[in-house]
């Protein structure tokens, strides 16, 4: 009889989002069934990749085969559970490395991760597939631009093109404020997206694959508090928003958002769990896709764990499903 599978829970990262990665990893670790899985938390930082033992001792990862040696015993892994937001765990870099090694992992593949980490390329692919998106302009730090040539209706959102968590994002209602907002976004990234604001209700929905079938979770409505302009980093992680799960919405709204979410998952060839943000424009009676998060937060405050519970699932069963799906996918490659 085979023993528990060895799972590397990869967390940390090279960006400011590492602090959120550790929170997600704590939730994931606490809800991985230890009778099925031996879980090793691997901290990936710019200073090195390490497994930290219970006694605090650090063991360096051998990057040649992503193994560790603990007390002269070599440990290799059956699957990698990626609990890392930002680079290199959300933008395809780690995924490409694991692909080269032939190691199964729980997230989207390298190409999908890289595309969806770039907000502009994400909406371009979605629009090509007939999915509603906002009109936008893509700016590069090294290239000159003329604000008067944007041809966008105010208000607009100005945001770093890469990454999540809304860091460096601004809502701009006056033309004279756009330059400062662009400068703020360029402080976070060398590409910036200036996007027309779609008015409507904000919904966010988790989607995953279970036994080969694409499943849309019960969606959440996100309402930023009156003192918050939009659902930014502070609103998201410091309780400045109200999240209603499942959202109070009509059957038609639910169907349109869920169907579009499943279409997005298929179009982008996603794997694991993703979370998609939408604005539902009631004038058009259509959802508009804002962005795709391929490593959605799993901390206590995060939306996907709320949606898992609203489905009537336990997090233990959900995380096990992600691992088993990754192993099944790897078996047919």
Catalytic residue among 241, 302, 321, 325: 302
Q: Does residue 90 have an active-site annotation?
A: no
Burial class (CB in 10 A: 0-12, 13-18, 19+), 46: exposed
Q: Does residue 17 have an active-site annotation?
A: yes
Catalytic residue among 15, 17, 24, 221: 17
The yes-or-no verdict on residue 172 having pLDDT over 50 is: yes
Task: For CATH 3.40.50.20, list the domain ranges present in the chain.
Answer: 5-107
Candidates 3.40.50.300, 3.30.1490.20, 3.40.50.1370, 3.40.50.620; CATH matching 136-196: 3.30.1490.20
Binding-site sequence positions:
277, 291, 293
pLDDT bin (cut points 50, 70, 90) of residue 92 is very high
Domain 5-107 falls under CATH 3.40.50.20: yes
Burial class (CB in 10 A: 0-12, 13-18, 19+), 10: buried
pLDDT bin (cut points 50, 70, 90) of residue 71 is confident
**Stretch 24-51: mean pLDDT, rounded?**
97
Highest-scoring range by mean pLDDT, 13-27, 53-67, 92-106, 156-170: 92-106
Catalytic residue among 15, 21, 165, 170: 165
Q: For residue range 219-252, list pLDDT tens digits in order.
A: 999 987 655 555 454 455 455 678 999 999 999 9
Q: For residue range 246-275, list pLDDT tens digits in order.
A: 999 999 999 999 999 999 999 999 999 999
- Strands in 211-272 per DSSP E: 213-216, 220-224, 241-244
Q: Does residue 35 have an active-site annotation?
A: no
Task: For CATH 3.30.470.20, list the domain ranges present in the chain.
Answer: 113-132+198-294
Rounded to 5°, the CA angle 328-329-333 comes to 120
Select the more confidently predicted residue: 3 or 196. Answer: 196
pLDDT of residue 166: 66
pLDDT bin (cut points 50, 70, 90) of residue 195 is very high
Class of domain 113-132+198-294 (CATH, top level)? alpha beta
Select the more confidently predicted residue: 196 or 227. Answer: 196
Binding-site sequence positions for Mg(2+):
277, 291, 293
């Amino acid at each position: 009889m085979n023993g528990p599978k060895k799972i590397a829970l990869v967390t940390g990262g090279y960006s400011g989002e590492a602090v959120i990665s550790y929170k997600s990893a704590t939730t994931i670790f606490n809800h991985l069934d230890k009778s099925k899985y031996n879980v090793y938390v691997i901290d990936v930082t710019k200073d090195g990749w390490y497994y930290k033992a219970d006694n605090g001792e650090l063991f360096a990862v051998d990057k040649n085969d992503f193994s560790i040696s603990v007390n002269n015993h070599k440990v290799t892994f059956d699957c990698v559970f990626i609990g890392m937001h930002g680079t290199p765990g959300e933008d395809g870099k780690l995924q490409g490395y694991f692909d080269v090694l032939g190691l199964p992992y729980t997230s989207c593949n390298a190409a999908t991760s890289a595309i969806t980490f770039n907000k502009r390329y994400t909406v371009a692919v979605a629009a090509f597939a007939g999915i509603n998106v906002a009109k936008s302009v893509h700016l590069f730090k090294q290239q000159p631009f003329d604000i008067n040539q944007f041809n966008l209706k105010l208000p607009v959102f100005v945001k770093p093109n890469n990454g999540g968590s809304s860091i460096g994002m601004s809502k701009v209602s006056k033309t004279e404020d756009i330059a400062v907002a662009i400068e703020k976004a360029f402080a976070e990234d060398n590409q910036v997206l200036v996007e027309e604001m779609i008015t409507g209700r904000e919904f966010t929905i988790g989607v995953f694959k279970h036994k080969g079938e694409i499943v849309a979770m019960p969606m959440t409505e996100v309402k930023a508090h009156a003192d918050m302009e939009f659902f930014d980093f502070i609103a998201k992680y410091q309780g400045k928003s109200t999240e209603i799960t499942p959202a109070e919405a009509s059957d038609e709204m639910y169907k349109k958002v869920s169907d579009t979410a499943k279409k997005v998952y298929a179009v982008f060839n996603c794997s694991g769990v993703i979370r998609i943000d939408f604005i539902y424009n009631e004038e058009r009676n259509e959802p508009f896709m804002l962005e795709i998060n391929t490593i959605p937060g799993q901390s206590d405050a995060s939306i996907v764990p709320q949606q898992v519970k609203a489905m009537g699932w336990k997090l233990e069963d959900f995380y096990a499903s992600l691992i088993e799906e990754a192993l099944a996918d790897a078996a047919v490659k």
